[in-house]
């Protein structure tokens, strides 16, 4: 398992380009199941999770190939509804083939995703919604076995505005008979980007970005060519790199429309920024303490919680971080404390007492965003930090160490 070695503290300078969004790319890849024609996606990040999704598509009988940041997918050869455990366990987002398979084949045989470091991650809301559209769903030996004579439009209410649940049901509904209304739908920008793609493929969808989405089923969808939005979480992570190293950098290709909550918190902790015609120049100085409470979009994103906690560990005072989306998303706390942070967790709240400095040590990555928070802390920590199990980071960040090195960071990948 690869590890990172990071020398700190370092100053960063120069400019960096944000890659395409992981969480917009994954549902779009599975949307290819909805048509027999070519789906060409540009600005797709080169990530382990994207590779896993492509492998799953090939497993289903589709063609999926990458040329630089362009993916070409064709599902005219779709001949299987089977998503095996050994693929799904590597990436929970594999559940995103559930809706498209029910729409196209009216059958799905998908391993239950199982949990991950940050939580149990159930898919009950996905399953109940498919049932309400006429799906007959059984759970057998850890697999979802689902069949339908025809998917019929229905009114679906989500108890929690689940992101991939919303994406699955939109993709099930676009080819269903009649009208589907999703109430309490997720409003994340990645859901909106998927809706934009589906509408270009001929889907009839109203309410993008709203919590009520209406879909009128159509007979078939056509192929198209689409450019994936930039990654708002990578953008926020790079903003935190400027904050924690007290540096000024330019971040290009920023999805400005999708980072309001992140920018707001960035300013609250002392960050300064200027918009440019290519993106944003961000500058970090003294870090101020603050309160963070994660929420569904347009609130502060849970995927930015760990990164901001690393920044707040060096604030001039005490901060409170409350995680409301996942039940176990504080795995980075113990590792940050190994670097000299002073963070106490009580239930879903963490009290972050700002310290003067962090000191390099060996730490362990536990999940994707926790890995990012450890990289950020290592950039500011005095001395050498070793970050183990960095494969977690490779799932969601495209060559982050190369981007940080170009900004002046002293970070090396050691292949093991």
Q: Which of 23, 30, 52, 290 binds ligand EPZ (CB under 6 A)?
A: 23
Per CB under 6 A, the list member of 1, 160, 218, 344 interacting with ligand EPZ is 160
- Of 102-110, 114-122, 261-269, 406-414: span binding ligand EPZ (CB under 6 A): 114-122
Quick one: how far is CA 150 from the chain centroid?
32
Rounded Cα–Cα distance for residues 304 and 43 (Å):
22
Q: Are 91 and 340 in contact (CB under 8 A)?
A: no
- Work out how close the CB of 21 gets to ligand EPZ at its nearest, in angstroms, rounded to a whole number: 9
CB of 201 to ligand EPZ, least distance (A): 20
Q: What phi and psi values does residue 56 have, to the nearest 5 degrees?
A: -65, -40
Give SS3 for 208: coil
Distance CA 377, CA 4 (A): 13
What is the set of active-site residues? 116
DSSP string covering 235-291, please? Answer: HHHHHHHHHHTT-EEEEES--GGG-HHHHHHHHHTT-EEEEETTEEEEE--SPPP-E
Distance CA 358, CA 343 (A): 12
Residue nearer to ligand EPZ on the CB measure, 92 or 246: 92
Reading the block at residue 42, the tokens are 């540009």
Binding window for ligand EPZ (CB under 6 A); candidates: 33-41, 121-129, 255-263, 273-281: 121-129
| CB nearer to ligand EPZ: pick between 6 and 125 | 125
- Shortest Å, Cβ 329 to ligand EPZ: 8
Q: How far is the CB of 235 from ligand EPZ (least distance, A)?
A: 13
Contacts to ligand EPZ from residues 82-111, by CB under 6 A: 93
Interface with ligand EPZ, residue 358, by CB under 6 A: no
Binding mask 226-245 for ligand EPZ (x = CB under 6 A): --------------------
User: Would you say 250 or 303 has its CB closer to ligand EPZ?
Assistant: 303
Under a CB-based contact definition with an 8 Å cutoff, are residues 271 and 254 in contact?
no
Instruction: Report, in Å, the least distance between residue 79 CB and ligand EPZ.
Output: 25
Q: Which of 55, 89, 90, 121 binds ligand EPZ (CB under 6 A)?
A: 121
Q: Is residue 114 within 8 Å of 152, Cβ to Cβ? A: no
Backbone φ and ψ of 401, nearest 5°: -65, -30
The span from the CA of 358 to the CA of 378, in Å, is: 8
The yes or no reply on residue 326 touching ligand EPZ (CB under 6 A) is yes
Q: Which residues here bind ligand EPZ, judged by CB under 6 A?
A: 22-23, 26, 93, 119, 121-126, 160, 162-165, 186, 190, 302-303, 325-326, 368-369, 396
């Amino acid at each position: 398992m690869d590890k990172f070695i990071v020398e700190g503290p370092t100053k960063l300078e120069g400019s960096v380009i944000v890659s395409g969004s992981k969480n917009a790319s994954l549902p779009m890849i599975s949307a290819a199941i909805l048509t027999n024609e070519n789906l060409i996606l540009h600005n797709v990040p080169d990530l382990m999770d994207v590779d896993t999704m492509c492998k799953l598509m090939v497993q289903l009988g589709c063609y999926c190939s990458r040329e630089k940041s362009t993916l070409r997918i064709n599902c005219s050869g779709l001949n299987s509804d089977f998503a095996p455990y050994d693929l799904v366990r590597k990436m929970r987002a594999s559940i995103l083939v559930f809706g498209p398979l029910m729409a196209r084949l009216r059958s799905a045989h998908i391993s239950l995703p199982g949990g991950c470091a940050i939580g149990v991650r159930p898919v009950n809301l996905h399953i109940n919604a498919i049932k309400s559209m006429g799906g007959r769903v059984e759970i057998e030996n850890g697999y979802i076995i689902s069949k339908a004579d025809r998917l019929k439009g229905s009114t679906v209410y989500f108890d929690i505005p689940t992101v991939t649940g919303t994406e699955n049901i939109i993709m099930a509904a676009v080819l269903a008979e009649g009208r589907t209304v999703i109430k309490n739908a997720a409003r994340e920008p990645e859901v909106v980007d998927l809706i934009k793609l589906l509408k270009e493929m001929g889907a009839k969808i109203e309410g993008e970005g709203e919590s009520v989405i209406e879909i009128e089923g159509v007979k078939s969808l056509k192929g198209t060519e689409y450019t994936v939005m930039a990654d708002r979480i990578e953008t926020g992570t790079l903003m935190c790199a400027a904050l924690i190293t007290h540096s000024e950098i330019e971040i290009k290709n920023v999805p400005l429309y999708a980072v309001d909550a992140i920018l707001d918190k960035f300013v609250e902790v002392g960050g300064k920024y200027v918009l440019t015609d290519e993106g944003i120049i961000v500058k970090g100085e003294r870090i101020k303490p603050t309160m963070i409470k994660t929420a569904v979009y347009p609130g502060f994103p849970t995927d930015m919680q760990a990164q901001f906690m690393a920044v707040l560990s060096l604030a001039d005072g005490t901060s409170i971080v409350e995680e409301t989306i996942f039940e176990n998303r504080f795995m980075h706390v113990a590792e940050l404390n190994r670097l000299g942070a002073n963070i106490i967790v009580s239930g879903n709240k963490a009290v972050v007492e700002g310290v003067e400095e962090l000191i390099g040590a060996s730490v362990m990555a536990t999940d994707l965003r926790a890995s990012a928070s450890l990289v950020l802390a290592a950039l500011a920590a005095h001395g050498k930090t070793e970050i183990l199990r960095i494969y977690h980071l490779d799932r969601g960040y495209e060559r982050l160490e190369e981007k940080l090195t170009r900004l002046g960071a002293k970070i090396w990948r050691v292949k093991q």
